Every structure is written in structure tokens, then in C-alpha cells.
Structure 1
Amino acid sequence: MFKSQSYWRHSALAVCCIFTAPSASTSYGATASDGADAGERFRAQIEPILSKVCYDCHADGVEKGDFSLDDFESIEEHLADRKLWLKVWENLRAEMMPPAEKTQPSHDERLKVIAWIEKEVFKLDANNPDPGRVTIRRMNRVEYEHTVKDLLDVDFDAEEVLPADDTGYGFDTIGDVLSISPMLMEKYLEAARQVVSQAIVPQDPVIPSVSIEGEKFKATAPSKKTGKYLSFAQGGQVSTKRVIEHPGDYRFSIECRTQGSSEATSHSANLRVLVNGKDIGGDSLGWDNRKSITITAKGALGEGENILTLALQEDSPPQPDEKPLSLVISKVKIQGPLDGSYKVYPKDYYRIFFKGGAPKEPVARQAYTKDILRRIADRAFRRPVDDGTLDRLVKLSQLALDQPNAKFEDGIAYATTAILASPRFLFRAEIQPEPDNAGKIVPLDEYALASRLSYFLWSSLPDEELMELARKGELRENLDEQIDRLLADKKSQRFVENFVGQWLQTRDIEGVNVDPRRVLGIKDLSAAFKVFGSRQRRGMRLETETLFAFLLKENRSALELFTADYTFLNESLAKFYGITGVKGDEMQKVALPKDSHRGGIL
């Protein structure tokens, strides 16, 4: 069972963090090694211990096991014999030597020699560990899809453009196998063009509109009437207030429907639209089998607060054998000012062009270009873009703008294509202060840590909160909280699907070739597929993924992967398993009988 600390949290830390506190060991008082000092420390601190417990069998001409500890010309040669000291280190750690019947070193002496070998011979430094060579990881196809979705809100099918990723040890996230070739680079350039063509589209500003839900229109207290239900017979008025910044003529579109009878009736009413008490239009209503009716009117709205009222009045009552009707107002759309004095761009336009259209003045236009490209590049590169790179991107944008009939958006699109084809985007590079200094070992910077964390748990780039903490240098001190936040987000399901999908090969469940007729002993193919078809296959995949996600997010014991007396089922999978009492398509936790073999992953 797990300790009180979260196992899953610390698993994340192990993957995402470069350095932890040094592991407990006995220090023998040495600092950096160099020849003479190392020899002096050996003579003064280590050789007396070896002389007491080792030299009797492995020195002074005695070489039991063909092993000697004093056969060397110089101390430098002695310390350079890593093969010899590796044997000493292994036997001391395993307490295989000295033999039980021989003089034994004390516990502290044993640890002292082990620490000396690690420091002076193996060159290990617990205070500045060498992380080894870290291959720069290229994004795989899954990560590419999620990254462009979170960066530009584009749904892109990477499998249609990019070739399958190589795998190592069964996973497609191993940096050493995620190579890149000239052909793949061409594919990435094509992918970048396709993504940008969806993300950045020239658009013209339009007259703005806003929709107000019918339930927001309410009668004066104490009445509880709303626009969601107005009886023809009773009629009544419902109103709402609207603050207007841009006065002028507006168009009002009321989307509604009548209800109450499945057959035509003579029951009718009249709906009027009023602005600040003034009637601006309306229409008669009666039985109508359409799902939606639209009534339009046009009127002036002044600057500041305006009162919008919908008034219903019965025209003719139903006949005695007819059912009464009522009105349901779905929403009211308000559009204006109709003279075009104030326009806005479509909502999705502001995702890239956050200030709206481009300024006409050249200096302001270039500054806006720089602001847009900085926002995109900072997120795409997972760290602040340097000024030199940003200037080159602005120049690329200008090159596109210099073409005939080019629009401002075309320049941004051209530079954004370059961003998405850049190695800084395609590779999760972790830039260090002195990249050419092989002896310089430093912890990951905060931006690289944010990137590792988000790609581990979200298969995508860091969000605004992670980037802001990295910018402030506060991510490490808030790492536990951020891991909890990322796991709680629905995007963590990507980690579950990718990891479990490859570890337990659940990705293959829905596609593996199985003849249900042979497995089930049913001759008719259609009947066999009804028992075991695509719904049951999908349920089996979700069963395993949901179990893993449950253990992860609830901090349960990893042993429950094998010992769980419960599982997760929906109705179709439960029926296939012969388990009753499960309803609906959603996966739900189900307790299993004691003799059931359905629990866990085995």
C-alpha cells in the first residue's frame, strides 16, 4: 500500500523534476578530486580501513580470487582502475566481502569506503549529479494534435498528414526513436500550412449581435412568469434590462414556439415587442407545428439602460373541445446599430487578433504584428521568444504583405507557419545557460519544467497558469499544487489514454481482428456482432482506462490494478459480462462478486 504521501504525485515528480535532494549517504569529507589530494585522502582515510579488513587476503603478495588491492605503480593509476574498484564497491554494498569469518568493517567504515569510491573513482557528486545525456524529444503525432488544438483551437488529424511514429520499449514518446528526416520535415511544413489555413482566416467586421435567453425575461413581482412559459389565455408581460453603449436602430428577432395541442385549434394570441414602453412590432400566434417561429421587429435603443418587454394578449379563446395553447420563448437576438457605425469581428477572430483589425498607421500596424507573433511564439516555443527571432518573424510577415492583394492576416499566417515548422516548436528543447559547456550541470529552468509537466500529464503545451508561474520563478515551489490541478483537469485523460493505450495495448482492442462467431459459438454473423461488437470493444477499452484513472486521481494502491474487487462498466458491457443492475452508456463503478474474475487488469 502507498505511504501517506501521494504515490501518483511523486511519480509525476520523478518524471518531471531533474534534481531531488541527495540520497542519504556517509560523507568522508572529500571535495573535488584532483590527483595529489585524492592520493592523500586515500592514504589517510581509506587505506587504513582496507589494510584492516582487505589486505590480509588481497595484498602483500596474497591474491585470493586473483584479486589484488596493492598491485599498482602510482596512486593515480590505482584510482583510474574502475574495473577493480567496481568489484570492491559491489561486494561492499552487497556485504559479500569480507567473508563472514574474517574481520568486518564497522557500518560507518563500510559506508565511508563506498562513498569514497563513488566520489573519487566513479566521479559521482550527490550535490551536483550528472543527469547524463538527455535526447531532445520531438513531439509525436498525438502531442502534435493536442498542441495545435490548445495553441490555435484547430482540430487537426495528424494521422492524415504525418507518418506513424517509431516506438521504443512499446512507447511512442521515447526521444531516441523520435527522429526526423527531410521527408518528415516536408510533412511538418505541410501540416503547418493546413493548421494555419484553419486558424487564420481573413474576416471582415460585422454588425454585432447578442442573444438573451427567454427565461431572462421576467414578470413584475410577485408574479413568477418568465418567457419560458406564457399562457395564451392569461397573457402577460415579461421584461429584461439591457445596457447599450452604441445607440441606434436595432433589429429584434424573437425565437419561440407554441405548445399545448397536437391538433390544430382556433386558440390565438398576439405577441408585441416594446422598447422602453414603445410598441415597435409583433405578430399573431396560433397553433403551429413548427419547432421554431421567428418574429422580427426594429426599434431604437438609447445609450445606457433600456427596458425590453414582450407582451402576450389572447385574441380568440379555444373552442370547448380544444386544448389551450401556450408560448415558449427560446431566445431574443438583438443586432445593431444597423447603420454600421459600430462593428466587431467574429468571436474566433480575436483568438489570434486579440485587439481586432489591424491599425492603418504603419508604425502601429508593425507593433501590432509584433504583439501577435510574440503571443503565438511564446506559447508555441514554451518559453519567451528572443528578440532576434521575433524580428525575423516580423520580417517574414512583411514579406507576405508585400505580395499583390495581400491582407494583414496573410502576413501573420505566413509567420505562424514558420513558427509551427520551427525546431523550437517541433522539438521540446530544454535550453541551458551554457549549452556548449559539457561540464556545466544545472537544474531544468522553470519553463522546461512547465513543459515536461504539461506534456507528461496533458500531452500538450503549458497553459497560461504554468507559464506565469515559470515566468515568476515560482513553479517549483508550487509543484505539488500544479500536479493536482493538472490531474483534475479533463485534459489529463490524454495521459490515461496514451499511457494505458500503449502499456496495456488498449489502443488495439477496438481494431484487433476477432471472429465473434467462433468465440461465441454463434453461426449468424449479425447475431454474433450484436452480442460482441463495436460497443462492447469500446467498453472494454474504457473499462481499463477508467480503472487506471480512478486509481490515479483517488490515490489508490497500485496493487488494486491486480486485486480490485470492482470494475467500471456501462450497460452494454455489463450485459456481455452477465452482470445485472447497470444502466446507461456511462462507465460506472460496479462491485463484483467474490468469485468474479473481472476485477483488475489480469
Structure 2
Amino acid sequence: MIVGSVVLLALLAYVFPVKTGEDPQIVESSMIAKAPHPLIGKYCMGCHDSVEKTAGVAFDQMSLSNPDRNGEMWEAAVRRLTSGMMPPAGSARPTERENMEMIRAITTRLDAANPAPAPTVLRRLTRTEYGNVIRDMLGIHVDATTLLPPDPAVKGFDNIGEVLTTSPALVQGYLNAGMKISQLAVGDPNLTSSRRVFTLPHKLNNDRYIEGLPLGTRGGKRTMVLFPVEGDYMFEVRLGAGSTLFQKFGGGKLPKVDLTVAGKAFPVDKDGKAWVHVRAGEYPVTTALRDNDLGPGVDDIYSTYNIRGAIVDFAVQGPFRAKSGGRTVSRDRIFTCYPRKPYEERTCARTIVARLASQAFRRPIAEQAPEMDLLMRYYDLGRKTGNFESGVQRALAYILVDPRFLYKVEQEPRGIAPGIIYAVNPVELASRLAFFLWSSAPDDQLMASAISGKLTQPAELERQVRRMIADRRADALADNFAQQWFRLKELDSAERESKDFDDNLRYAMGQETKLLFQSVMRGDRPVTELLNADYTYVNERLARHYGMPGIKGDYFRRVALPADSPRRGLLGQASILTVTAVANRTSPVIRGAWVLDNILGVPPSPPPPGVEVNLDAAGKTPTTLRERLAIHRKSAVCATCHNMMDPIGLSMENFDQVGKWRTLDGKLPIDATGSLVDGTQLNGIADLRSALLRRSDAFTATATSKLMTYALGRPVTYREMPAIRQVLNDASRQNNRFVSLVLGIVKSQPFQTRTKPGPIAGVGPVRSTQAEPPKSEKKRKAA
């Protein structure tokens, strides 16, 4: 036996010889000597040296004395150390003190390098911004999704300038939109009759009353509809297949259609049509169902299958027999003067056109400025073929297709050399601020502050920011920024194989998350409240989904959550849980990746080419998702990312694919246990939430980076990270309240300056183009 063991040991020594000089202590000393920092050599270079070069990172080939050369790699290292996602599971890990020392050593050198902000490309308006500017400028609501093609998204946001290109189709869309909007705004009596269709969600539950619609109705929708001129309009309401099925199988009559325009009810004939004379203006239109008498039990039998009828859409066609004139919000905003004599027309028109151009181009334009000559030529063309209003309408149509309207133009000072950083002027700063907070153009108050030069003063800038966040237009931060950050736009197209999922619930899910974000924003609450809020917002439909008793009605109200509620914060909300699932089941991988990207700021790499990502593709499918993921992690290629994602996603398994709480997956009990990379043990959503709160610095940094990306309209790089760390440092004194983060961003160098692109772009002096340079720049010069 002993002889056999000796032979085996000798054989192993022959096959796997011990290399001279590979004593672990000697190897570690060698790594430390080659490392840019001793702790990096001790904990990181086992995988990240010039031999292993895992993920393409070799710290022995990188230097902290010149971090600008490998800025992105150093910033990635900081994010992973801050989030606790490195070193990987099973490796020696630094103590908390050592971890902070590494982060401090790297960031101190990165910040001292002070790289110039990345150059800003010319950006056009997004589809959302276009619609908002039209709303605020002319007072009419247009559905930009029907006028313009969708915008591509980068880093989760659709306002990134580098991909907002212009195509022939987009140019044609702008031309058509400009002509149509100008006619609607002016109220052109020669407006061609058109048909506008308003579609209702195809999974809307029409069995219940919906808040805001007439009492005694069920289902339906309330829509604001613009009637550009006074005249007759034909309404046509189309019912869905449910009505036919009810007539065939239920033995009853079709439900009545309830139609109201501006609060007044109008009868609808058997074909679903109604003629209504409407004065010019924008009014609420409601369409809903009102049942005839039903036989006993019919409601209970057929409502499950939604065969009592459903409104698919309604159309408005007109105007017919249109009348000119009339008073609307848009006409009041356009015709601030009106000529009484023919000789007054051109003077009044010049006043109107100059004001509209100033609003559209987002900078003051004097009535006698040379650039007015071209705009007035379009007025003259319209006047020749019509009247005074026709001329104004033609000039407005041109303004709405002018590049100065469609693009966020910023003037470059003369004589600026490549690489020089220069401050944007106050008017351009106002435009940046308005599109950041409102996704729209500056209002009169903000523009007046900019023209006077006061906006560059820190106290005035803060006053304007607080005013703007309190304004309803700041809902754009929830509707636009937060929706894209949390991927809520995917909720609109999500299809889930669940009897609990319908469009009423879909709407309620998204509304809950937006209301939570608005509460943190308008209440100036710490951003970490998004992770652990002890309250939420629900209506009856969502409360029923969550199992919350006593909530009646379709309106949303704030409800308190107990300390042990699984619904506290974003990770307990059905919107997030639904967009991170797939049609027929949950997805721990997607949920884990969502948390890594949007909470911790360390998005996992996409799977390498050739790797099988279908968990059901194996010949013998295991019983549970957990078992399938365990098999997937046996591949070393997959394990690196899945060891980070899977435990996070599995801890959320008590929520099904539409965010409903469960204790069983089929007939098997849910196992929500796991272990994070840093060894933190998880058993369900409460443990995950606690673990993330202990890493709240990572979440605050992620939130700030997302805000900065959205505010700048370009992806944040290592060049902007020193400014972001300054924002975080200043905001930490205010408990990381939302407004303190926003103020830090709008006062930062990347937000207030531009860098002229060129081959020698880098650190350089800021050249002022405004009355006073940013405060941060004064400090930098003083230093």
C-alpha cells in the first residue's frame, strides 16, 4: 500500500512538476514589486497581469503616474472595488480598510490628472423633446410618435448626440410635421379634413370602472383632442371582438357606447358614429361602455373571458364646414398683436415672427436683425396666396424646420485652438438646463435670467434649478430619464403568459415607479430612498396584485409599507420585476444583470460568441431554474459573470414574471438563497436589499453617472469621472439628496463648458465666453 502511494506521488510529480521559484510568497512579492500599488499586486494581479491578462487588463503594464493613458480601465477597477464585485469569488479579498485604500489611491491620481471633458457633438432634438417644445411654445399637444421615427438609444438613453443622425425619412418627417403643426396652431380654415385614430391598449380590462370617466361606465379612455378650428367633426367608436362574442353566446344586446366631448354627452348610433359641432380648442374626449340590462349571472359567466365588449379605438374626422378665427391657446400665443389696417400687417407680422423664432431657436432675435429677412420672405409668400394669418402660418412652418430649431446649436468663439476648454454662454447654459430638467426649451423666466447674465451666478443658478424641479414640466425627469434608466419603456411592449397581466396592471406598474421617483425628486429626498422607501403608490388594480386589502378606486394613493414588506424600494416593484423577466417565466440572469448595471454600475459583459445562452437547450432539462444555472456556471467562460448575476437574481425568485409574490414555482418550493461575490449570504429580497444598502455609495455613484450621461447627451467616460466624484463629495454633505446631485451636475465643468475637438485635446485653460466663469473653474485656477 505504501509502495503504491509512493509510486502515485512520483507519477504526479512527473506529470505536474513543481516549478522552481513558484513559492506563493515569492510569487506575491514579485507581483507587488511590479504592481502600480502594493495592494493591487497582492489582490488583483493573480488574474490581471501581462501573463494572464484576464478581461484584457494587465496592471503591471499600467501606471498611476499617468492614469490618463488607461483611464477607462482604472475607472472600471474603481467601480468594481466600490461595488464589491472584485476580486472574484474564491480569491483572497482585501479588508474593508484595504479596499478603501486601493480606491483612494486610484481616484486621487485620476482626479489629479484632470482630463478635459470629452468634446460635445451637435445634437438634434429627440422625438420626445420635439413634442415637448411644441407643447410649451404653441400650447398644443402633438403625438410625436406618429410624426417622427423613433430615436436610437445608447447606454440606455435616446438623447445621445453621436447617434442622433438625420436621414431622408427624418427630414421628410420634419417637413410634414412643420406644415401640419403650423396649420393646427394657427387654425387654418382651409385645413384639409383628416382622420385621427386614438387606439386603446389591446389588453385593457373593460369590466371595471376607470377613474376619470363618467360614472356608471366601464373600460374606455380619456384623451385630450385638439380641434384646430370650429366646425363639425365625426366621431367613430370601434368595438372589439368581445362585443360580437357576447351577442352570439351571451344572448344579450351590445353594450352602449358612452361618448363625451368637453364634458357633454353625445348619442352614438348603432354603427358607433356621432356628429359633433365643436368650437376650436383642445378638449377632453371620453369613450367608455355602458351595459344594457343583462340576464342574471351573465356578468359573472362571461366577464372572465372579456366578451362583454371592449373599445378597440375611436377616430375623429374633420373639420367639415369649418369656420375661421376662434380663440384657442395656440392662437393666443401666436397672435400677440393683430392688425386693424392693411398697412399694420407687416409690422405686426415681424413682431410675431421674431418672437416665435426667439422661442424656437432658444436665443433672442431682434425684429430688425438681418436673419429676419429670410423669415419674412416666407411670411410674404404665405400672404400672397392667402391673408395675414396665412403668412404667419407659412413663416411658422419654416421656423419649425429650421436647423436652429431642430438642433441644439452652440456657438464656438473665434480663435479657439483645439483642446481648449471654454465656457458656454448664459443663453446656451439655459438651454442645456431646460433640456436636462424639462426635456424642453427654456421658459421666459429662465431666458430672462440668462440674457441678464444672472444665471451664471451660483445663487441664481440654484434658485432656477429649484424652481424648475418644482414645476410640472420636471415630470419629464420621471417620464423620460427615470423610464429609460429603469428600462420602463420595455413595459409597454412586454407580453407575459399570466392570467394576472392586463393593460390596466401594465399602466399601474409604470405609474407606481414614476410616482416613487417623483416623490424622491420633488421632496428632495436622499436617492438611496429609491432602494428602501417605506411607502409606495398603488391603485385598486395594483393593490389587488400585491395582495393589499382595503384599496378601492382607480386613483393612486401613497400607502405606508411595514419594515418586512417585500415591496419596499425599486426591487419590490412589479414594473422592474416584469421588464426583467421573460414571457413564460422569471429570469434570474436578467434580473441580476439589471441590478449590476442600474444599481451597482458594473454592467456584465455580453456572452462570448458561440456560448449557448438558452437554459432550456440541454437534452435533459433540470427541474428548476437554479439547477439549469448551476450547469451553466460549470463553464469557466460563463462563470465569471454568472457568479455575480445569478445569486442576485435567485434572491428575487419569490416574485414571478409579473412581480406577484409566490412561495412555490409550480409544485416546488422557492429557494431564494445564494452568496454574493464578497461572501455575503442572501436568503430572499430583504437580504439583497440590505446588501445593496451597505453598498449605497455604489448606487449613489451610479445614479449620478446616469444623470450626468442624460444631462450631457453623451456617455460618461473617464474624463467626466473626476467631476462626478466632486459632485458626490459635495452631495454627501447633504445626505445625497436629489437636488444636491442635480445642482452638482449643473455647476460642474462638463455641464458648463465645451472642449474644442482636435488632435491635441487635453487639459487646458478655460476661456470664458460669459460674464462670469463657473465657480468650479475659479477654484481650479486659484489652486
Q: Helix, strand or coil: the match of 2:153?
A: coil
Contact 1:398–1:411 (CA<8 Å) still a contact in 2?
A: yes
Contact 1:532–1:576 (CA<8 Å) still a contact in 2?
A: no
2:207 is the alignment partner of 1:190: no
Instruction: From the superposition, tell whether residues 203 and 487 of structure 1 become closer, same or farther in structure 2 (CA, over 3 Å).
Output: same
Instruction: From the superposition, tell whether residues 90 and 421 of structure 1 become closer, same or farther in structure 2 (CA, over 3 Å).
Output: closer
> Could you tell me which amino acid in structure 2 is paired with residue 157 of structure 1?
D
Tell me how many residue pairs correspond in the alignment: 345
Instruction: List alignment gaps of at least 5 residues for structure 1.
Output: 1-63, 68-82, 95-110, 205-289, 292-343, 517-527
Q: Deviation digits for residues 356-381 of structure 1, max 9, x if unmatched? A: 246311xx322212111110000101
Deviation at 1:505, TM superposition (A): 1.6
Q: Which residue of 2 aligns with 1:457?
A: 437
Superposition map of 1:19-168 within 5 A: 88-90=65-67, 130-168=116-154
Q: Deviation digits for residues 60-98 of structure 1, max 9, x if unmatched? A: xxxx9799xxxxxxxxxxxxxxx999653459x99xxxx
Q: Deviation digits for residues 22-69 of structure 1, max 9, x if unmatched? A: xxxxxxxxxxxxxxxxxxxxxxxxxxxxxxxxxxxxxxxxxx9799xx
Contact 1:358–1:368 (CA<8 Å) still a contact in 2?
A: no
> Could you tell me which amino acid in structure 2 is paired with residue 346 of structure 1?
R
Q: Deviation digits for residues 561-596 of structure 1, max 9, x if unmatched? A: 222232211122112211123333232221223332
Contact 1:345–1:356 (CA<8 Å) still a contact in 2?
A: no
Contact 1:432–1:445 (CA<8 Å) still a contact in 2?
A: no
Q: Which residue of 1 aligns with 2:546?
A: 577
Identity percentage of aligned residues? 34
Q: Helix, strand or coil: the match of 1:432?
A: coil
Aligned to 1:433, which of 395, 399, 413?
413
Q: Which residue of 2 aligns with 1:551?
A: 520
Report the TM-score when normalising by structure 1. Answer: 0.52
Q: Helix, strand or coil: the match of 2:342?
A: coil
Instruction: From the superposition, tell whether residues 579 and 468 of structure 1 become closer, same or farther in structure 2 (CA, over 3 Å).
Output: same
Aligned to 1:375, which of 349, 355, 358?
355
> Could you tell me which amino acid in structure 1 is paired with residue 357 of structure 2?
A
Aligned to 1:484, which of 466, 472, 479?
466
Higher gyration radius (CA) = 1
Contact 2:469–2:522 (CA<8 Å) still a contact in 1?
A: yes
Deviation at 1:345, TM superposition (A): 6.3
Aligned to 1:539, which of 499, 508, 529?
508
Deviation at 1:436, TM superposition (A): 6.4
2:385 is the alignment partner of 1:416: no
Deviation at 1:509, TM superposition (A): 2.1
C-alpha root-mean-square deviation of aligned residues, in Å?
3.5
2:532 is the alignment partner of 1:563: yes
Instruction: From the superposition, tell whether residues 460 and 563 of structure 1 become closer, same or farther in structure 2 (CA, over 3 Å).
Output: same
> Could you tell me which amino acid in structure 2 is paired with residue 468 of structure 1?
A
Contact 2:125–2:408 (CA<8 Å) still a contact in 1?
A: yes
Deviation at 1:493, TM superposition (A): 1.0
Deviation at 1:347, TM superposition (A): 5.2
Q: Deviation digits for residues 266-307 of structure 1, max 9, x if unmatched? A: xxxxxxxxxxxxxxxxxxxxxxxx99xxxxxxxxxxxxxxxx
Q: Which has the higher contact order (CA 8 A, sep 6+)?
A: 2
- Counterpart CA distance in 2 for 1:87 and 1:392 is 56
- Counterpart CA distance in 1 for 2:567 and 2:390 is 57
> Could you tell me which amino acid in structure 2 is paired with residue 506 of structure 1?
L
Instruction: List alignment gaps of at least 5 residues for structure 2.
Output: 1-32, 37-59, 75-104, 191-263, 266-324, 572-783
- Counterpart CA distance in 2 for 1:201 and 1:590 is 45
Q: Which residue of 1 aligns with 2:30?
A: none
Contact 2:362–2:431 (CA<8 Å) still a contact in 1?
A: yes
- Counterpart CA distance in 1 for 2:340 and 2:412 is 37
Contact 1:151–1:380 (CA<8 Å) still a contact in 2?
A: yes
2:477 is the alignment partner of 1:500: no
2:379 is the alignment partner of 1:402: no
Aligned to 2:372, which of 382, 390, 411?
390
Deviation at 1:385, TM superposition (A): 2.6
Contact 1:203–1:345 (CA<8 Å) still a contact in 2?
A: no
> Could you tell me which amino acid in structure 2 is paired with residue 430 of structure 1?
E
Superposition map of 1:129-528 within 5 A: 130-202=116-188, 346=327, 348=329, 349-357=331-339, 359-361=341-343, 364-385=344-365, 387-403=369-385, 406-434=386-414, 437-438=417-418, 440-477=420-457, 478-516=460-498, 528=499
Deviation at 1:395, TM superposition (A): 1.7
Contact 1:434–1:440 (CA<8 Å) still a contact in 2?
A: no
Contact 1:397–1:412 (CA<8 Å) still a contact in 2?
A: yes
Instruction: From the superposition, tell whether residues 473 and 193 of structure 1 become closer, same or farther in structure 2 (CA, over 3 Å).
Output: same
- Counterpart CA distance in 1 for 2:174 and 2:501 is 39
- Counterpart CA distance in 2 for 1:146 and 1:447 is 19
- Counterpart CA distance in 2 for 1:555 and 1:118 is 28
Q: Helix, strand or coil: the match of 2:349?
A: helix
Poorly superposed stretches of 4+, deviation over 4 Å: 64-67, 83-87
Deviation at 1:445, TM superposition (A): 1.1
- Counterpart CA distance in 2 for 1:569 and 1:435 is 58
- Counterpart CA distance in 1 for 2:560 and 2:382 is 63
> Could you tell me which amino acid in structure 2 is paired with residue 421 of structure 1?
V
Contact 2:339–2:348 (CA<8 Å) still a contact in 1?
A: no
- Counterpart CA distance in 2 for 1:180 and 1:359 is 43
> Could you tell me which amino acid in structure 2 is paired with residue 559 of structure 1?
T
Compare the two structures and name the one with the higher helix fraction: 2
- Counterpart CA distance in 1 for 2:163 and 2:134 is 22
Contact 2:478–2:517 (CA<8 Å) still a contact in 1?
A: yes
> Could you tell me which amino acid in structure 1 is paired with residue 403 of structure 2?
P
Contact 1:202–1:407 (CA<8 Å) still a contact in 2?
A: no
- Counterpart CA distance in 2 for 1:65 and 1:436 is 42
Instruction: From the superposition, tell whether residues 350 and 564 of structure 1 become closer, same or farther in structure 2 (CA, over 3 Å).
Output: closer
Q: Helix, strand or coil: the match of 2:374?
A: helix
Instruction: From the superposition, tell whether residues 443 and 574 of structure 1 become closer, same or farther in structure 2 (CA, over 3 Å).
Output: same
Contact 1:401–1:411 (CA<8 Å) still a contact in 2?
A: yes
- Counterpart CA distance in 2 for 1:534 and 1:85 is 53
Instruction: From the superposition, tell whether residues 511 and 186 of structure 1 become closer, same or farther in structure 2 (CA, over 3 Å).
Output: same
Q: Helix, strand or coil: the match of 2:570?
A: coil
Instruction: From the superposition, tell whether residues 90 and 435 of structure 1 become closer, same or farther in structure 2 (CA, over 3 Å).
Output: closer
Deviation at 1:392, TM superposition (A): 1.2
